[in-house]
Amino acid sequence: MRILISGVAGFLGSHLADRLLHEGHSVIGVDNLSTGFRENIEHLAGVARFRFEERDICDPFDPGAVEYVFNLASPASPPEYLRMPIETLRVGSVGVENMLRIAARYQAGFLHASTSECYGDPLEHPQSESYWGNVNPVGPRSVYDEAKRYGEAITMAYHRARGIDTHLARIFNTYGPRLHPDDGRVISNFMMQALRGEPLSIYGDGSQTRSFCYVDDLIEGIVRLARSQEHLPVNLGNPAEFTILECAQAVLELTGSKSKLRFDPLPIDDPARRRPDIDKARAVIDWEPKIDLKEGLARSLEFFKNMLRSEGSSPGCCTAGAVPASARPRRERS
C-alpha cells in the first residue's frame, strides 16, 4: 500500500512508520516539526519506500494517490498544546479535514488519533466508549480536548456523508523510546529527572491516576483498528492503573536513583483518574497490551540514558522538569 502519515516525526508517528515500512508498504510522512524531530526519522533517510515532506497539514496538499491515511499530527503533551493553543485547535479542525479530503479524493482508509482527553475529567470509571465525557469547554486544556472531540465528529461525518472507511483510536497515555525528554509528559520528566539525580516533580499530591501503555502495544492496536470494520471510537490503552506517586516509585526502582520527590502545583483541570475499559478493543480487534509498566520502563531506559549523554554535546538540551516546555531550551530542529 501507499500510505500517508501525518505527524510522522513525532513519537507515535515515527514508530508507526517503522512498523508499516517493515510490513513492506510505502510511506509518505508529513510533519511541520512543531513538536516532532527529524532525529526520529533520520534512520529512514536511506529507505527508498519512505519519503518525508516538511509541511503543515492546515495547508491543503495533494500527496498523489494513497490507499490509507493515518492522521497523527497534533501537539500531544499538555505543556506543548498550552504553548500552542491556536495551532492545536487548527490542526485538530482544519488539519483533520484536509486529511479527510485526501482520503475522500483517493477513496483511502482513514484513521484518526483521538485521545482519552475526550473523556475530560471523567465521572465514570473506568472509561468505556459509551461515556460522553466531562470536558471543560473553555478551560486551558479545551484547545486540545475540544479539537479532538471535533476531530471525532468530522471523521464520523465524512464516514456517514461520504462513505469514507474511517477509524477512531481513543489513545490513552503511551510512552516509550522517542518520547521527547523535553516535552513535559510524566514518564519522560521522571526518567530524565531520576537519571540526573534531580527531584521528581509530582504535580499535586500525586494521587491522580493514569494508565500507561507501552508504544509497541499501542502501535499493534492502531494497525489492527485500521484494518477493522469498526468506525466508532475504540479505546487503546493499558488498563493497569497507577497513581503518579506509584509511577515515580517505579522509575526510581528501575533507575536505582536516589532522587527525592518535589511537590508542585497541579495543572488546571488535570484529570483525577484515567483508566481505559478495553473490552471493545478485545472484542473487535482481538487486542490487549502485553507489556506492563515495569517492563516498558526497562525497555525505554536506554533511550533516556542516550538523551542524557547527548546533553553534554547539545548545550541546553533535555532540561525537563517542572518548568513548562515553552520556557525550556529545546533540542535543535534541523
Cβ neighbors of 237 (< 8 A, separation 6 or more) are: 116, 170, 171, 172, 173, 174, 211, 213, 218, 275, 276, 278, 289
* Cβ 236 to ligand UDP shortest distance, Å: 14
Question: Which residue carries 540526573 as its cell?
Answer: 196
Residues tagged active-site: 144
Residue number, 88 or 259, with CB nearest to ligand NAD: 88
Q: How far apart are CA 247 and CA 34, in angstroms?
A: 28
Largest CA distance in the chain: 57
Q: Could you say which of ligand UDP, ligand NAD, none residue 56 binds, taking C-beta under 5 to 8 angstroms by partner kind? A: ligand NAD
> Cα–Cα–Cα angle for 263, 265, 269, nearest 5°?
135
Taking CB under 6 A as the criterion, the residue among 244, 250, 285, 317 binding ligand UDP is 244
**Any alpha helices (H) in 171-292, and if so which ranges?**
186-196, 215-226, 244-255, 279-285
* Part in contact with ligand UDP (CB under 6 A); list of ranges 93-101, 103-111, 130-138, 262-270: 262-270
187 in Cβ contact with 134 (< 8 Å): no
Q: How many CB atoms lie within 10 A of CB 24?
A: 8
Q: Could you say which of ligand UDP, ligand NAD, none residue 73 binds, taking C-beta under 5 to 8 angstroms by partner kind? A: ligand NAD
Residue number, 186 or 317, with CB nearest to ligand UDP: 186
Torsion over CA: 289, 293, 295, 299 (sign)? positive
* Cβ 256 to ligand NAD shortest distance, Å: 26
* Part in contact with ligand UDP (CB under 6 A); list of ranges 47-55, 59-67, 183-191, 233-241: 183-191
Segment 77 to 106, residues that bind ligand NAD, using CB under 6 A: 91, 95
Contact residues for ligand NAD, defined by CB under 6 A: 6-7, 9-13, 30-36, 56-58, 72-76, 91, 95, 113, 115, 171, 173-174
Contact residues for ligand UDP, defined by CB under 6 A: 77-78, 173, 185-186, 189, 201-203, 208, 210, 244, 266-267, 270
